[in-house]
């Protein structure tokens, strides 16, 4: 059966965003897939027509946020309520991991995207002292004891938020089990110091996962950080509260080979967008040397989401080929190739992968 045309909205963001998104879109067009790519005007805030196009698209690919495009990410993630951040951490042989034996690192860091300390609710200490004069910590100290000069931030968690991300984690774990993975969920919180907020996640996620009959473990975020370095291969689905997921996904990306390699898919109720985990990297922006891998792998997650599973696997296999081959790598991976050359190579490899004898994916798509 012929696949029907899919519409993608590409939003480059800033810094290296435009370079990696342009090169990835060129790659996608070069694969001959039935894709229509729209690049509506970006602006900050996003123009209404762009929002409409992104809402209606089959897939949305975002480049990288920086100071002048943070409102784009705010719209994509928080206004559009893309509450589940899927961040696969996977080592492909040839990637420049700092670990001695990274082969086999393959887990998903699942980040709760909508709650916790994000998107930032802050104010003056004096205001909250006025509003909550009796709010005390576990030692009995009230906010007044800090004086009136200072600031505060509010962390919010809800049972609804915890439940839906827990169920998402279970679905993800079951899908991975079907592909021969353990289907284990590792919950990351800091409930020893935040027993009410983080503790709510412990309680609810623990219950949902137990009911689902899946293997479960819990670590506090400091312990989890060292485990992701020391025992990354023991991880399968690592469910993190928002800020912990932000921090640990950079750490995880680095163990696999670098921040330039880590993709993400962000899912809400019936809508999703895809973006690299890295930022706008102003230090190398405009030089044409940014690694497009994170964006290419994000595009693979997007193809999978749009029902183009085989094509997604081919694209991942093409990335695998580039790293195994090691000839067309960008400087962050020890090579001298430019962004476009790297994408061009992925395009040829993914085309070659259409032939049954060449470049078949070694493993099915990883998340
Ligand atoms: C990420 C980024 C964002 C975050 C920034 C750009 C707001 O670091 O997607 O991980 O902190 O979530
Ligand atoms: Mn981040």
The residue among 150, 222, 174, 131 whose CA lies nearest residue 367 is 174
From the CA of 17, which ligand is nearest?
1
| Rounded CA separation 77/169 (Å) | 18
Q: What is the predicted pLDDT for the residue at 58?
A: 97
Question: Of the candidates 163, 152, 146, 177, which has an alpha carbon nearest to the alpha carbon of residue 211?
Answer: 163
Q: Which residue's alpha carbon is nearest to atom 11 within ligand 1?
A: 246
Mean pLDDT score, 185-190: 99
Q: What is the pLDDT of residue 344?
A: 84
Mutation choice for ligand 1 from 113, 114, 116, 246, CB with most ligand atoms inside 8 A: 246
**pLDDT score, position 365:** 45
What pLDDT, in 10s, does the model give residues 215-268?
999 999 999 999 999 999 999 999 999 999 999 999 999 999 999 999 999 999
Q: Report whether residue 65 contacts ligand 1, using a CB cutoff of 6 Å.
A: yes
Pair 203, 158: CB distance under 8 Å: no
Cis peptide before 45 (omega within 30 of 0): yes
The pLDDT > 70 percentage for the chain reads 95
Task: Write down how long the chain is.
Answer: 367
pLDDT of residue 176: 98
> What is the residue-wise DSSP string for 105-120?
-EEEEEEE-SSBT-S-
Which residues are registered as beta bridge partners of 240?
111, 188
Taking the alpha carbons of 240, 246, 251, 254 in that order, is the dihedral positive or negative? positive
Chain segment 294-331, per-residue pLDDT in tens: 999 999 999 999 999 999 999 999 999 999 999 999 99
Give the Å distance between the CA of 211 and the centre of ligand 1: 32
For a ligand 1 pocket test, name from 17, 73, 84 the mutation site with the most ligand atoms within 8 angstroms of its C-beta: 73
Q: What is the mean pLDDT of residues 160-164?
A: 98
Confidence of residue 366 (pLDDT cuts 50, 70, 90): very low
Write out the two tokens for 85: 């951040």
Q: Is 312 in the pocket of ligand 1 (CB under 6 A)?
A: no
CB atoms within 10 A of CB 345: 20
Closest CA to 312 of 253, 361, 239: 361
Ramachandran area for residue 103 (φ above 0: left; ψ -120 to 50: alpha; else beta):
beta
Tell me, using a 6 A CB cutoff, whether residue 112 lines ligand 1. no
Q: For 96-146, what is each residue's pLDDT tens digit?
A: 999 999 999 999 999 999 999 999 999 999 999 999 999 999 999 999 999
Q: How far is CA 341 from CA 92, 155, 300, 328, 332, in A?
A: 19, 44, 19, 7, 14
pLDDT at res. 358? 29
pLDDT of residue 362: 36
pLDDT tens-digit readout, 45-74: 899 999 999 999 999 999 999 999 999 999
> Three-class SS of residue 28?
helix
Q: How far is CA 254 from CA 115, 235, 281, 354, in A?
A: 25, 15, 15, 31
Q: Tell me, in angstroms, the distance from the centre of ligand 2 to residue 47's CA.
A: 25
pTM: 0.95
Ligand 1 atom at minimal distance to the Cα of residue 119: 7
Asked if residues 305 and 271 have their Cβ atoms less than 8 Å apart, the reply is no
* Phi and psi, residue 238, nearest 5°: -105, 105
pLDDT at 357 over 50: no
- Which of 113, 279, 294, 298 best tests ligand 1's pocket when mutated (most atoms within 8 Å of CB)? 279
- Which atom of ligand 1 lies nearest, measured to the CA of 113? 12
Q: How far, in Å, is the centroid of ligand 2 from the Cα of 314?
A: 27
Token look-up 């470049």 returns 359
**Phi (first) and psi of residue 100, to 5 degrees:** -70, -35
**Which residue's alpha carbon is at the smallest distance from atom 12 of ligand 1?**
246
Verify cis geometry, omega within 30 degrees of 0, for the bond prior to 119. Answer: yes
Is residue 355 scored above 60 in pLDDT?
A: no
Nearest to 315 by CA among 278, 288, 352: 352
Q: What is the DSSP string of 37-63?
A: EE-----SSPPHHHHHHHHHSSEEEEE
49: left (phi over 0), alpha (psi -120 to 50) or beta: alpha
């Amino acid at each position: 059966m012929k696949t029907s045309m899919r519409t993608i909205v590409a939003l480059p963001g800033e810094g290296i965003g435009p370079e990696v998104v342009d090169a990835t879109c060129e790659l996608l067009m070069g694969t001959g897939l039935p894709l229509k790519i729209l690049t509506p005007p970006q602006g900050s805030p996003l123009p209404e027509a762009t929002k409409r196009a992104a809402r209606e698209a089959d897939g949305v690919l975002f480049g990288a946020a920086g100071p002048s495009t943070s409102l784009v990410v705010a719209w994509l993630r928080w206004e559009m309520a893309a509450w589940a951040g899927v961040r696969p951490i996977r080592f492909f042989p040839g990637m420049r991991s700092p670990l001695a034996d990274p082969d086999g690192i393959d887990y998903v860091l699942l980040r709760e995207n909508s709650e916790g300390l994000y998107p930032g609710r802050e104010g003056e200490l004096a205001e909250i002292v006025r509003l909550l004069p009796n709010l005390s910590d576990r030692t009995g100290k009230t906010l007044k004891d800090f004086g009136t000069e200072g600031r505060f931030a509010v962390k919010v968690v809800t049972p609804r938020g915890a439940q839906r991300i827990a169920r998402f984690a279970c679905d993800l774990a079951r899908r991975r089990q079907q592909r021969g993975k353990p289907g284990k969920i590792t919950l990351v919180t800091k409930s020893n110091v935040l027993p009410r907020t983080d503790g709510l996640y412990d309680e609810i996620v623990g219950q949902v996962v137990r009911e689902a009959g899946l293997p479960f473990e819990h670590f506090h975020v400091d312990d989890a950080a060292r485990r992701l370095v020391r025992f990354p291969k023991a991880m399968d689905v690592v469910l993190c509260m928002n800020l912990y997921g932000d921090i640990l996904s950079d750490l995880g990306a680095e163990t696999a080979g670098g921040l330039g390699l880590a993709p993400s898919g962000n899912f809400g109720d019936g809508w999703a967008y895809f973006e690299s985990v890295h930022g706008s990297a102003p230090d190398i922006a405009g030089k044409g040397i940014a690694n497009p891998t994170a964006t290419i792998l994000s595009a693979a997650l997007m193809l999978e989401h749009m029902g183009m599973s085989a094509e997604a696997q081919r694209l991942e296999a093409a990335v695998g080929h580039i790293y195994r081959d090691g000839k067309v790598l960008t400087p962050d991976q020890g090579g001298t190739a430019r962004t476009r050359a790297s994408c061009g190579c992925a395009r040829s490899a993914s085309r070659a992968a259409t032939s049954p004898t060449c470049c078949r994916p070694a493993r099915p798509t990883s998340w």
